[in-house]
């Protein structure tokens, strides 16, 4: 990776809160960073005011951050590309940028989700679209990292997964700072599944909170939720230890207990009796866990993996099951060993 032409340049595709925060992080490290913002009105304000007034207000762009509305321009800008768009738009985006992605590019996915139609992770979708030479330089970044706290330079640890250790190490070196510490591993599918599935458990945690239950119930949801995530992950070829690491337990703790968690908020409102339509109609940002619940439920059925918490969240969101009834059904299940 020492052959990269532009080590001091990076591109970030996705102008939501996380994409913007990550671009500001890179630019604050002295890396010339081009940020693609899809929405024209958000882009215009970003150019005029040097901040993302819609998704991350109050944080001025560093001098080396350059907002753009031209996808081709941003894709060609550097050899290092971070992609931070919601999972439902990723396939279309990958197809759009594929003509500009040469073999020397490093692609890092910041997206935490599972595509509904194919039930695939983002790296699996990339494998369908990008040239095989590009796929050798693919990485994913996940872990407990609220955008607002990263931008405030709160000490944060994440994990970069790649099948190519040199790529993981290169990205690790580029993005690390005194407050942002990346670890590396080679379990791409595990890191992606952990990052996506924890959002479903975060919705469940929010539901428990919305129903007025206490810490006993929350601890049960988080712990048994991790069992479900791990069970499906191992079935799909992930390493068990990934789920006790930053992408697994780390991110699960963050999204289940953190007040900034959009997925936890969705669950809380569901627990209070609101419909999913009522909740999402008032949200500016995407809560990935809503779509991931659908994907996880269907993936578990396809792989014949038991995921009772995911199943109940699915029934609450997609079948309008009363949350209280869903909890009672979970508690009334047949008694079992903890580790069968």
> Are the C-beta atoms of residues 183 and 246 closer than 8 Å to each other?
yes
Structure tokens, 182: 């990346």
> 83: helix, coil or strand?
strand
Residue 3's pLDDT band, with cuts at 50, 70 and 90, is low
Distance (Å, rounded) from C-alpha 42 to C-alpha 236?
39
Alpha helices (H) in the chain, listed in sequence order: 17-28, 40-49, 71-77, 87-97, 122-129, 132-135, 147-151, 165-175, 188-210, 215-235, 251-257, 262-271, 276-280, 288-303, 308-318, 323-331
In a domain, 194, yes or no: yes
Look at residue 8 in the predicted model and tell me its pLDDT: 86
State the total domains in the chain: 2
Residue 7's pLDDT band, with cuts at 50, 70 and 90, is low
Residue 4: pLDDT over 60: no
Are 160 and 229 members of one domain? no
* Domain boundary pick from 171, 186, 201: 186
Look at residue 72 in the predicted model and tell me its pLDDT: 97
Are 176 and 223 members of one domain? no
* Domain boundary pick from 142, 163, 186: 186
In a domain, 4, yes or no: no
Give the other-Cβ count within 10 Å of 152's Cβ.
Answer: 12
CATH number at residue 105: 3.40.50.720
What confidence tens digit (pLDDT) does each residue in 304-330 have? 999 999 999 999 999 999 999 999 999
Are 109 and 220 members of one domain? no
**CA distances from residue 312 to 117, 296, 317 in whole angstroms, order as listed:** 21, 12, 9
Residue 5: pLDDT over 50: no
What confidence tens digit (pLDDT) does each residue in 209-250 have? 999 999 999 999 999 999 999 999 999 999 999 999 999 999
In a domain, 338, yes or no: no
Rounded mean pLDDT, 90-117: 96
Are 182 and 194 members of one domain? no
Instruction: Transcribe 273-308 into DSSP letters.
Output: T--HHHHHTT-SS--HHHHHHHHHHHHHHHHT---H
Q: What is the mean pLDDT of the chain?
A: 96
Are 286 and 178 members of one domain? no
CATH number at residue 320: 1.10.1040.10
Structure tokens, 226: 């991790």
Are 102 and 171 members of one domain? yes
In a domain, 107, yes or no: yes
Are 63 and 205 members of one domain? no
Angle 24-287-50 from CA coordinates, rounded to 5°? 25
Are 221 and 285 members of one domain? yes
Residue 6's pLDDT band, with cuts at 50, 70 and 90, is low
**Angle between helix 188-210 and 262-271 (nearest 10):** 30
In a domain, 264, yes or no: yes
**CA distances from residue 207 to 73, 88, 174, 198, 293 in whole angstroms, order as listed:** 43, 24, 39, 14, 14
Look at residue 280 in the predicted model and tell me its pLDDT: 94
> Are the C-beta atoms of residues 267 and 288 closer than 8 Å to each other?
no
DSSP state of 62: P
* Domain boundary pick from 133, 168, 186: 186
The pTM of this model reads 0.95
Distance (Å, rounded) from C-alpha 282 to C-alpha 266?
11
Are 195 and 55 members of one domain? no
Rounded mean pLDDT, 187-201: 98
Residue 252: pLDDT over 90: yes
Q: Token match 């994907």: residue?
A: 295
In a domain, 339, yes or no: no
In a domain, 102, yes or no: yes
Are 22 and 171 members of one domain? yes
Are 140 and 247 members of one domain? no
Active site residue 105: no
Structure tokens, 244: 């006790």
The parent domain of residue 46 ranges over: 9-186
User: Could you give the percent of the chain with pLDDT greater than 70?
Assistant: 98
Beta bridge partner(s), residue 138: 107
User: Could you give the percent of the chain with pLDDT greater than 90?
Assistant: 93
Structure tokens, 53: 């007034």
The catalytic residue among 165, 198, 272, 302 is: 198
> Are the C-beta atoms of residues 12 and 55 closer than 8 Å to each other?
no
Look at residue 219 in the predicted model and tell me its pLDDT: 97
In a domain, 96, yes or no: yes
Give the other-Cβ count within 10 Å of 214's Cβ.
Answer: 9
Residue 177: pLDDT over 60: yes
Are 175 and 225 members of one domain? no
């Amino acid at each position: 990776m020492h052959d990269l032409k532009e080590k001091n340049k990076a591109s970030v595709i996705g102008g939501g809160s996380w994409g913007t925060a990550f671009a500001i992080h890179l630019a604050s490290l002295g890396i010339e960073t081009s940020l693609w913002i899809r929405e024209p009105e958000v882009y215009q304000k970003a150019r005029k005011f040097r901040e993302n007034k819609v998704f991350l207000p109050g944080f001025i762009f560093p001098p080396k951050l350059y907002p753009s509305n031209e996808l081709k321009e941003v894709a060609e800008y550097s050899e290092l590309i971070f992609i931070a768009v919601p999972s439902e738009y990723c396939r279309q985006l990958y197809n759009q940028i594929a003509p500009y992605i040469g073999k020397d590019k490093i692609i890092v996915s910041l997206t935490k989700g599972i595509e509904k139609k194919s039930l695939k992770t983002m790296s699996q979708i990339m494998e369908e679209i990008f040239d095989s030479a590009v796929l050798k330089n693919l990485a994913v970044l996940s872990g407990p990292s609220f955008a607002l706290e990263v931008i405030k330079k709160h000490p944060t640890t994440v994990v970069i997964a790649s099948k190519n250790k040199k790529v993981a190490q290169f990205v690790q070196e580029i993005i690390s700072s005194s407050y942002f510490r990346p670890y590396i591993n080679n379990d791409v599918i595990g890191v992606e599944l952990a990052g996506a599935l924890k959002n479903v458990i975060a919705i469940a945690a929010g539901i428990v909170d919305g129903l007025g239950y206490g810490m006993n119930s929350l601890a049960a949801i988080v712990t048994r939720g991790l069992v479900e995530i791990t069970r499906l992950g191992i079935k799909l070829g992930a390493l068990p230890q990934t789920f006790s690491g930053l992408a697994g337990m780390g991110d699960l703790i963050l999204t289940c207990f953190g007040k900034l968690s959009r997925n936890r908020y969705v669950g809380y409102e569901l627990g209070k009796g609101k419909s999913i339509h009522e909740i999402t109609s008032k949200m500016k940002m995407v809560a990935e866990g809503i779509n991931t619940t659908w994907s996880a439920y269907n993936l578990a059925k396809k792989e014949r993996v038991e995921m009772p918490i995911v199943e109940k969240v699915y029934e609450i969101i997609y079948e309008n099951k009363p949350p209280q009834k869903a909890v009672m059904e979970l508690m009334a299940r047949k008694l079992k060993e903890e580790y069968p």
